[in-house]
């Protein structure tokens, strides 16, 4: 019986891995800030807002890295798609927080 080998030049991109790490970092920091502000009944210091701004910056950079990397044909798709998804979730959570803070 012959074994079939598939040779490929595909690899995991460092930019895609960085996009995933930035997405994880943004989501974890937002979860911690939301939990701590819930424990303090909404009486939060200004540092929590700075954490939100940094999460936005990390998510935007991570989203850009994920999109740029996903367009490359010579890489595996796991980390670019995961990075895009995680960064979109973080941006969605931040948009929801801003919407709720504005209208409620």
- Any domain includes 4: no
- Any domain includes 27: yes
Half-sphere exposure (Cβ direction) of 51: Cα atoms closer than 13 Å: 17
pLDDT at position 104, please? 77
- Any domain includes 34: yes
- Any domain includes 57: yes
Q: How many domains does the chain have?
A: 1
- Any domain includes 8: no
pTM: 0.86
- Any domain includes 54: yes
15-39 confidence digits (pLDDT tens): 999 999 999 999 999 999 999 999 9
Alpha carbon of residue 28 to chain centroid:
9
71-95 confidence digits (pLDDT tens): 988 888 999 999 999 999 999 999 9
Q: Helix, strand, or coil here: 44?
A: coil
Is 14's pLDDT higher than 80? Answer: yes
């Amino acid at each position: 019986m012959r074994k079939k080998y598939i040779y490929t030049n595909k690899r995991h991109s460092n930019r895609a891995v960085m996009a995933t790490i930035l997405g994880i970092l943004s989501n974890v920091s937002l979860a911690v800030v939301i939990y701590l502000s819930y424990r303090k009944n909404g009486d939060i210091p200004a540092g929590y807002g700075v954490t939100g701004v940094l999460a936005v910056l990390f998510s935007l950079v991570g989203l850009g890295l994920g999109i740029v990397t996903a367009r490359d044909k010579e890489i595996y798709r796991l980390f670019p798609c995961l990075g895009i998804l995680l960064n979109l979730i973080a941006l969605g959570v931040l948009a929801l927080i801003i919407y709720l803070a504005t209208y409620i």
